[in-house]
Chains A and B, each alone.
Chain A
Amino acid sequence: MNELIKLSGAELAAKLRAGEVTSVEAVQAHLDRIAEVDGALNAFLHVNAEEALAVAAEVDAIRAAGGAEAEALHPLAGVPIAIKDLIVTKGQPTTAASKMLEGWMSPYDATVIEKIRAAKLPMLGKTNLDEFAMGSSTEHSAYGVTRNPWNLNRIPGGSGGGSAAAVASYEAPLALGTDTGGSIRQPGAVTGTVGVKPTYGAVSRYGAIAMASSLDQIGPVSRTVLDSAYLQELIGGHDPKDSTSLPKDLEGLVAAAEAGATGDLKGLRVGVIKELTGEGYQEGVQARFNESLELLKAAGAEIVEVSCPNFKYALGAYYLIMPSEVSSNLAKFDGVRYGNRVLPEEGPMTIERVMGTTRAAGFGDEVKRRIILGTYALSAGYYDAYYGSAQKVRTLIQRDFDAAFEQADVLVSPTSPTVAFELGANDNDPLAMYLNDVATIPANLAGVPGITVPGGLSENLPVGIQFLAPAFEDARLYRAGAALETLLEKQWGHSLISQAPAINTASIAQEA
């Protein structure tokens, strides 16, 4: 294994700036790693080797030439990145892991992609996900499951299992994800990586294929807290193309991560959410969580218990609001303008039947389940009882957060109640899969930011610790997250990800 791929994004960036390595070498090392292990993992749906190497060569040439242009390069220029295949890109296919968009090429770039291009980060390719980001396991991709690098028989989380697995397996130092109910944080937790859902509106959604518009947020995926801070600073900021984007940029994220890395948390009030511990949380998960609390306390943090009584309604509210928006957002996929069109094999060739046949063939079961659920929830006569009530719960959850943040600067909980479950374990029980997001969903409903950082192992699988902060206070996440990361690594004497077993590429190849 080329040691280059073990570097964090920030470390690689420093070596690139110092001229110790070239971006072409770094990109090639990651492409080699993808060639080596992705047959087993299936983290990538598309590998963008040619363009990535071209961008790398461009960065190298600018650095070699020196002068003002080299000075003006973004700190992360030349550091490769993987993109969740829910985000549209020119020049690479965008599928949302659905048959519906097989082979579709976007004629435009998402705003975050424009920023990545402008900063000259070579894009390694597009990563796998649950179809249209609907799922917590990446088993609902139309292009095959992604496997967890820690244990190939386990799920890598979802929907952003591809991005998390890619980063966890050193296929990429950085990746982009999207988080609607936990799709960045839960995969981060179960793969031993870092993931951040920024404050709603902190990162433009323009070009992220909408699942649930009022909940979706693009965010960073990485192996270190500092890397996520760099990446959020790069992709964040106001976008006139997204009416819901914040008017002001959030600043000081990298500085907050650097401050947190000193391990000093004096004066920070950390609130433990009573409702997000105990019953339903695996013993090993709870144990790692408790150990983290001890470390935080030792570092000077004041631990307080807070109660968010309405969080118990969050999952129910989420599974009404999200499918309602899904049912409308996914209506555009009808085979009329783009994507797959499937014609009825018999009977009259009417537009309704072409649309129906296309959607029946193009969408997978989980997508159909949510479209049906949402269509029902919005129907006349049911709207008030379902969508209307769910919106009220949403308000109550926001009030719970407001009250909790009166008592604490950040809140903390396990990211996911369990470690990665086995592939296929929840095939016949969607509700069991939905429960994986019980701790992550409240942040989406309230629009507040959240981070997951590795918290240790249980059953040889990673456990994630989640911090939540008030809206616009993403910097607090980076401070608390970086502090816990530092404290744990000091205690262990190594990073968690360095303990991941080698990936047995042969086992899967034989199975296949």
Chain B
Amino acid sequence: MSNYTDELVDFDEALDRYDPVLGFEVHVELNTKTKMFSDAPNAFGDDPNTNVTPVDLGLPGVLPVVNKTAVEYSILIGLALNCQIAEKCGFARKNYFYPDTPKNFQTSQYDDPIAYDGYLDIELEDGEVFRVEIERAHMEEDAGKLTHMGGAAGRIQGADYSLVDYNRAGVPLVEIVTKPIVGAGKRAPELARAYVAAVREIVKNLGVSDAKMERGNVRCDANVSLMPKDADKFGTRTETKNVNSLRAVEHAVRFEIERHAAVLDSGAKIVQETRHWHEDTRSTTSGRPKSDADDYRYFPEPDLVPIVTTAQWVEELRSRLPEPPAERRKRLKAEWGYADKEFRDVVNAGVLDEIEATVAAGASAAVARKWWMGEIARLAKAADKDIADLGVTPATIVELNSLIEGKKINDKIARQVLEFVIAGEGTPSEIVEKRSLAVVNDDDALGKAVDDAMAAMPDVVEKIKGGKMQAIGALMGPVMKATRGQADAGRVREIVMEKLGL
């Protein structure tokens, strides 16, 4: 029944003939303390089936109770996506039999989502802004997790049996659905990636989700269709499920465009179906047929009463909204005066917060960037840790920098001091003191060290006198040794020249 084909059409060629239409359903797992409809902990990584109550297991007789925090988080997401917030909305039951869904229905929102009619302005790499219209953002519960045993690569096909973990069952989700996105043309894959990245960033910035795609906190279903350049009707779409990294979103959209074009070019029709994304081969395979008439027998959830959102409540939540990430970036870039590339590198390194805090603590934007993008990034990479987990505070940077500017230490020693800070030895000043790392620029002490070195190397002195200035370098070794590396090399040079009257 599937029109499976290995054929692909070159991307640029495909888009010479067809216009792509995209649509995304992004599922965001909220990081509330408890689940959507029960007081079981909402936690990741615990032993299977430990974060469950009778409600999460769908035992006979149980009833759901809506988590108010989840509703507030959903409203925050709606507001951040420039949506309208429903004054009254409710839940519905989506009926289907599957063992990861303990009641054999999912409690979801159907025809009255809590947020609707929004938009998000997506800035592409070159600064072009593309507006994505948001159809709706609605609340629902996550399903449990199935693990298929005995088959190949954890697939259900050929498995002997399956295990189910209901820890995730009932975790609050917000599903964000776009309107059809037209006009992206060859930038469709790039836009897809940027859109999902923007949603992830927004929910992270709101603090309502851990937003880790690798943990499934943010999951994307990507819909793609093609229509001939001169057509005015959308083509048949496919829905590639669970594309779970930004790179995969970009690749999946690209792949489907190339595949659709090949199918259409051959004169065949696209089958409306779900597709599975395979990271290893960077391709999709046919899933199950999907039609708009899939019958989930939705009806209003009779165990729950409607949610009423007062204007006062919504405005109170609106006042809690942080600055939107895109606006904040624009503002910070201007304030810091970074070049485009410098700023992009900072964003990509994920140290915007750290630099902002460091500048707020008194360092210059240039100094903050030097440290966070330089030594700290290097140490984080070496330790295989997130920069944020190294334990370096903005105060550390400010203190290190003032030690350098006060000529107490040089750059090289400052880098050592930083390592000692990370090792937990104390503040930079304490470490400099304790380890006697202050730069020796006391002329008496230096002068003596220089005298000793010159006395020990008369031939070198002769060379310098003869105009071979680079020979001064030979004196550095003994001087540094005598001062345990804390001599200021520039000052040593000056003293030598003074002593020789040069």
Q: Are the CB atoms of A243 and B302 closer together than 8 Å? A: no
Contacting chain A: which of B53-61, B117-125, B276-284, B461-469? B53-61
Contact of B305 among A94, A244, A380 (CB under 8 A): A244
Q: Are the CB atoms of B293 and A380 closer together than 8 Å? A: yes
Known pairs A328-B299, A352-B97, A380-B295; A334 contacts B61 (CB<8 A): no
Chain B residues touching A, range: 20 to 34
Contact code string A211-236 (vs B, CB < 8 Å = 1, else 0): 01110000000000000000000000
CA distance A209 to B58 in the complex (A): 11
Known pairs A106-B61, A241-B63, A379-B295; A328 contacts B105 (CB<8 A): yes
Contact code string B283-298 (vs A, CB < 8 Å = 1, else 0): 0000000000101011
Q: Are the CB atoms of A243 and B66 closer together than 8 Å? A: yes
Contact of A240 among B65, B102, B105, B162 (CB under 8 A): B65
A154 to chain B, nearest CB (A): 30
Interface centre among B98, B99, B297 (most CB of A within 10 A): B297
Contact of A337 among B102, B293, B303, B305 (CB under 8 A): B102
CA distance A87 to B65 in the complex (A): 19
CA distance A106 to B59 in the complex (A): 8
Contact code string A376-408 (vs B, CB < 8 Å = 1, else 0): 001110010001000000000000000000000
In the complex, which residue of chain B has the Cβ closest to the Cβ of A334? Answer: B104
Q: Are the CB atoms of A243 and B104 closer together than 8 Å? A: no
Which chain B positions have C-beta within 8 A of A387? 299
Q: Are the CB atoms of A328 and B59 closer together than 8 Å? A: no
Contact of B303 among A243, A333, A352 (CB under 8 A): A243
Known pairs A328-B95, A378-B95; A210 contacts B61 (CB<8 A): yes
In the complex, which residue of chain B has the Cβ closest to the Cβ of A101? Answer: B60
Chain A residues touching B, range: 35 or more
Which chain B positions have C-beta within 8 A of A333? 60
* B366 proximal to A (CB < 8 A): no
Within 8 A of A (CB), among B230-249: none
Which chain A positions have C-beta within 8 A of B102? 332, 337
Known pairs A214-B302, A241-B65, A243-B304; A88 contacts B297 (CB<8 A): no
Contact code string B90-111 (vs A, CB < 8 Å = 1, else 0): 0001010111001111000000
Within 8 A of A (CB), among B94-148: 95, 97-99, 102-105
A321 to chain B, nearest CB (A): 9
Which chain A positions have C-beta within 8 A of B297? 327-328, 375, 378-380, 383
Per DSSP, chain B at the interface is: loop
Q: Are the CB atoms of A243 and B60 closer together than 8 Å? A: no
* A508 proximal to B (CB < 8 A): no
Contact code string A90-107 (vs B, CB < 8 Å = 1, else 0): 000010100001001011
Q: Are the CB atoms of A242 and B63 closer together than 8 Å? A: yes
* B447 proximal to A (CB < 8 A): no
Per DSSP, chain A at the interface is: loop
Q: Are the CB atoms of A106 and B103 closer together than 8 Å? A: no
Within 8 A of B (CB), among A75-119: 87-88, 94, 96, 101, 104, 106-108, 110
B297 to chain A, nearest CB (A): 4
Q: Are the CB atoms of A324 and B305 closer together than 8 Å? A: no
Contact of B60 among A209, A212, A241 (CB under 8 A): A209
B272 to chain A, nearest CB (A): 16
* A17 proximal to B (CB < 8 A): no
CA distance A104 to B60 in the complex (A): 10
Q: Are the CB atoms of A331 and B104 closer together than 8 Å? A: yes
Q: Are the CB atoms of B162 and A351 closer together than 8 Å? A: yes
Q: Are the CB atoms of A213 and B303 closer together than 8 Å? A: yes
CA distance A367 to B304 in the complex (A): 24
Q: Are the CB atoms of A331 and B97 closer together than 8 Å? A: yes
Contacting chain B: which of A18-26, A200-208, A470-478? A200-208
A349 to chain B, nearest CB (A): 9
Which chain A positions have C-beta within 8 A of B305? 243-244
B293 to chain A, nearest CB (A): 6
B9 to chain A, nearest CB (A): 36
In the complex, which residue of chain A has the Cβ closest to the Cβ of B95? Answer: A328
Known pairs A334-B97, A352-B97, A355-B97; A206 contacts B62 (CB<8 A): yes
B67 to chain A, nearest CB (A): 11
* B64 proximal to A (CB < 8 A): yes
Known pairs A107-B59, A110-B61, A243-B303; A328 contacts B93 (CB<8 A): yes
CA distance A107 to B49 in the complex (A): 15
Contact of B59 among A87, A108, A327, A380 (CB under 8 A): A108
A475 to chain B, nearest CB (A): 24
CA distance A241 to B37 in the complex (A): 10
A74 to chain B, nearest CB (A): 24
CB-CB nearest 3 A-B residue pairs:
A331-B104, A378-B297, A213-B302
10 more A-B residue pairs beyond the given contacts A242-B65, A378-B95, with a C-beta to C-beta distance below 8 A: A87-B61, A104-B60, A209-B61, A212-B302, A213-B302, A244-B303, A327-B297, A331-B103, A336-B164, A383-B297
22 contacts between A and B (CB under 8 A): A94-B60, A96-B60, A106-B59, A107-B54, A107-B59, A108-B54, A206-B62, A206-B63, A209-B60, A209-B61, A243-B305, A244-B302, A244-B303, A325-B299, A328-B105, A332-B60, A332-B102, A334-B104, A337-B57, A375-B297, A378-B95, A383-B299
